[in-house]
Chain A
Amino acid sequence: MDDIQYTERALGCERRLYRVAIALLRSDADAADAIQEAVFKGWMHREALRDGERFEAWLMRILVNECRNIQRKWKGRPEPLNEQIVSAQGAPDPALQDAIRRLPERLRLPLLLHHLEGYSLREISSILKIPETTAKSRLYQARSALRQALSPEVGR
């Protein structure tokens, strides 16, 4: 994969990169750092990608790893302050955004990757390095938690 192809495909999945990064880090600054580092590492090791059709999953895996690296750094410093957390005002459905943000990360990420980004259970297990059954279970739990969080609204 040459430089031009890589650039085009990376820019083509910028929305996905943003949603995963922000879902994991909840901070614009950290999300930007994670995206930049993921694109940088992906470009440096682009020759290692054997199947070009799996580029997005491959880049997403790098991004998740970078997000976890940043989360690891949080151990030395506090998590992003509330004002630093991306505001819900820009979202079309602030309640849904708030409900998703309240989900624990282990449930939030499989939910986003499956229902928002369209990855299969096998791809999710590959990206998150978890068994498929675990991914399926977490997906189920996430849906239940989200349903419960949104139930008053749904029942309205």
Chain B
Amino acid sequence: MKDLNNAFPDTPEYVRHAIHMGLNRARRRQALKRRLFALASAAAVLAVMLGALTLAVNERRLAGTRLRSPNPGPLAHGYATDGPTPKPLPKPTPEPTAVPLPTAVPLPTAVPLPKAVPLPTAVPLPTATPMPTPVSRPTERPTPMPSVLVTALPTARPVVDAGLFTPMPTAYYPAKAAVYEAAIVPEMSEAADSEVVEQFVYSTKNGKYYHGDRSCSGMRGASARLIAEAEKLGQSACPICMPEDPTVWMTRAGKYYHDSEDCSGMRYAVAMPESEAIASGRKLCPVCQSSRVRTLRTDFYSTDGGKYYHADPECSGMLGAVRRTEEELQKLGQGPCPVCVGNP
């Protein structure tokens, strides 16, 4: 058989050239692939970073939206409440810190001491149930208002014998300031984790409620006492002047805080607890206040021939006012006093 190789001429030059061209094309394609892969990797990293950034921004916005939502939950705006009664009550600390304090500057009489220590005043101490001793001490930093610090209480609320405490002069305790003392004095708030500030309230001996405002509902003859004292007398918080710390609304530049987000056409309101609004120096909007009064009160004061009914029995120098129910007032055809009740 013939040699088939003779049927083909010598390998032309273009074959080698074609092989080199194919190799060069392949190398260029590979380099392009690598560049594209690097670009894609960089883009992916960038996208992840952008996504994380967007997520963070959205979370902030979402937090802002939650704060502005009409019915934020108790924890929605970051303010935790202790339970059904959000008024700051003494919290039991896990480790009693009954540090003996220097007694060089004791408070006048409200210093409950252990039984072993002879009391300077002949005040009977509760001995039936041994309780950890609430130690009252002055704050280390001078604060504008004196306060009583209760430490190391195993019970949820401090029990202070009413006889041990002599109320401080009331001039030191403006009504609201006394109620929301922890909010007003930031230094005290910082110490609130381990030491809880006891609040002063106002009440009469035979009253049903204790109040944050000593003139609430025309109250007279009220004396200041600790919440624990008032509760021991069977009194509860006044729903008018000491409601549970509700969520209120206010604008940055506003003078008042409001119960509703759109009170008086208000816009861009921010939600917060009432104690915080009070601490920022705002007052309750008169419209919302009158609404609260009308909502919570079931009885008012009025004279027989009067035109208005009043929340304050001595409003505008009124004499001889009689306590009446809403039904009686409707029968008399009397309207709300624009001063103490407010316009509907």
Contact = CB atoms under 8 A, between A and B. Distances in A.
Nearest to B28: A40
A139 interface: no
B22 A14 contact: no
A58 interface: no
Main secondary structure of the interface of B (DSSP, over half): helix
B6 A43 contact: no
B22 A17 contact: no
B144 interface: no
Nearest to A29: B14
Interface residues of A, number: 38
Given A3-B27, A17-B15, A91-B9, A38 B22 contact: yes
Interface string A71-89: 0000000000000001000
Contacts of A97: 6-8
B26 interface: yes
Contact of B4 (A7, A31, A33, A112): A112
Main secondary structure of the interface of A (DSSP, over half): helix
Taking residues whose C-beta sits less than 8 angstroms from the other chain, chain B's interface range is: 20 to 34
B29 A32 contact: no
A6 B7 CA distance: 29
B29 A44 contact: yes
Contact of A36 (B8, B11, B19, B29): B19
A100 B25 contact: no
B141 interface: no
B25 A36 contact: yes
B11 A40 contact: no
A25 interface: no
Contacts of A60: none
Contact of B11 (A14, A39, A112): A14
A116 B10 CA distance: 14
A90 B7 CA distance: 9
B22 A115 contact: no
18 contacts: A14-B11, A14-B19, A18-B11, A31-B15, A32-B15, A33-B18, A36-B19, A36-B22, A39-B23, A39-B26, A86-B9, A90-B10, A91-B6, A91-B7, A92-B6, A93-B2, A100-B7, A116-B4
Interface of A: 3, 6-7, 10-11, 14-15, 17-19, 22, 28, 31-33, 35-40, 43-44, 86, 90-93, 96-97, 99-100, 111-112, 115-116, 143, 150
Given A86-B9, A96-B2, 17 more contacts: A11-B19, A14-B11, A28-B14, A33-B18, A35-B19, A36-B21, A36-B25, A37-B22, A38-B22, A39-B22, A43-B23, A44-B30, A92-B6, A92-B9, A93-B2, A97-B7, A97-B8
